[in-house]
């Protein structure tokens, strides 16, 4: 469990709870639940690679974009914009706990070994 700042407007930050999760059965994806302790949590599923790349530079097209930004000192923030214009939401969170969490997912399933965790037989039944 972590906290994110939801930027309702340029000068109106609102702190909300957020939670990342990772399931080895879907090794290419991460899930972010925004307002995880609220009445109406919002779930976004997107590429683990997108999150990793967003820690070092601006990435993403479509529904999720991610980029890092220095806080002016030694700290870094991770910014996520979700949705499509004109209905987007902007979130800011400390980059360090996200980085540590992401590294733990790579210890579970190293980069490049994701395909070995997918149960292809189960997926083939979905298309029949």
Q: Encode the chain (128 residues) as per-residue pLDDT tens digits.
A: 577 777 776 677 788 888 999 998 889 999 999 887 888 888 999 999 999 999 999 999 889 999 999 977 778 999 999 888 888 888 999 999 999 999 999 998 888 767 766 665 654 555 55
Domain membership of residue 33 (yes or no) is yes
- Tally of structural domains, the chain: 1
Q: Residue 15: what pLDDT?
A: 85
pLDDT of residue 122: 56
Q: What is the DSSP string of 91-110?
A: EEEEHHHHHHHHHHHHHHS-
Position 121 scores a pLDDT of 62
The domain of 74 spans 2-108
Residue 115 maps to a domain: no
**The pLDDT value given to residue 68:** 95
> In this structure, is residue 113 part of a structural domain?
no
Distance of CA 23 to the CA centre of its chain: 13
| CATH code, domain carrying 62 | 2.30.31.20
Does 88 reside within a domain? yes
- Asked whether residue 84 is assigned to any structural domain, the reply reads yes
Three-point CA angle 99, 18, 70, nearest 5°: 45
Distance CA 68, CA 70 (A): 7
CB atoms within 10 A of CB 14: 12
CA angle 16, 22, 25 (to 5 degrees): 150
Global model pTM greater than 0.75: yes
Quick check: is 121 in a domain? no
Count of other CB atoms within 10 angstroms of residue 98: 26
């Amino acid at each position: 469990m972590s906290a994110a700042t939801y930027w309702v407007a340029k000068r109106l930050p609102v702190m909300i709870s957020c939670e990342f999760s990772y399931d080895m059965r879907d090794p290419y994806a991460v899930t972010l639940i925004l307002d995880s302790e609220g009445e109406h949590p919002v779930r976004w599923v997107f590429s683990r690679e997108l999150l990793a790349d967003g820690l070092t530079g601006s990435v993403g097209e479509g529904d999720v974009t991610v980029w890092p930004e220095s806080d002016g000192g030694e700290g870094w923030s991770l910014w996520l914009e979700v949705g499509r214009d004109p209905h987007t939401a902007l979130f800011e969170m400390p980059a360090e706990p996200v980085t540590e969490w992401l590294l733990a997912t790579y210890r579970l399933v190293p980069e490049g070994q994701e395909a070995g965790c997918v149960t292809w037989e189960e997926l083939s039944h979905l298309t029949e």
